[in-house]
Amino acid sequence: MKSRFADIDEAVSAYVANEISIEKNKELEELIFFSSYTIKFDVFKKATQKLKKILRQKLPYEWHIWEEDAAKVIEIYHLDISHGSERYTYLLKALLKAQIQINEAVMGHFIGLCKKAHSFEYIESRAEQIYRLLFDDIENESVCKTSSPL
């Protein structure tokens, strides 16, 4: 359902898609951060639950944390929004919803990576890839050494 601020809705949709894409395409080492011993995955679930709680509140007293993102979205998508206007409040609320979507997408992606990484077929296929790389390098080095004119 589109609101009367269709330009904001379209900009936020593009923003969400871009942010999710960035998060999903990070290196696996960066995503491993979620499973470290110092920061448990539950922290991200709790943070997302807190965002949902903020969204249900009538007063926008904590929406100011989205002002930096709002400035970025306004600039990137060339939106005509003045600070403090009804459109600005709508954008802040939309960015709060967007962050919830992004968090849920990243958590889902990470859970999928964990399941995939623990599946025997995945581990076996990665081992095969590594062996091919190792043996191809060794074969290429021996070919280069034997064919070298020096």
- Please write the tens of the pLDDT for every residue from 57-86: 766 666 677 788 888 999 999 999 988 888
Mean pLDDT of the chain: 77
Q: How many domains does the chain have?
A: 2
**Are both 71 and 32 inside the same structural domain?**
yes
Position 1 in a domain: no
Question: Is the pLDDT at 127 greater than 80, yes or no?
Answer: no
**Are both 125 and 70 inside the same structural domain?**
no
CB under 8 Å, gap of 24 or more: what pairs does 36-44 form? 41/107, 41/110, 44/103, 44/106, 44/107
**Are both 105 and 123 inside the same structural domain?**
no
**Are both 71 and 108 inside the same structural domain?**
yes
Which domain covers residue 10, as residue numbers? Answer: 6-118
Stronger pLDDT, 131 or 149, i.e. the higher one: 131
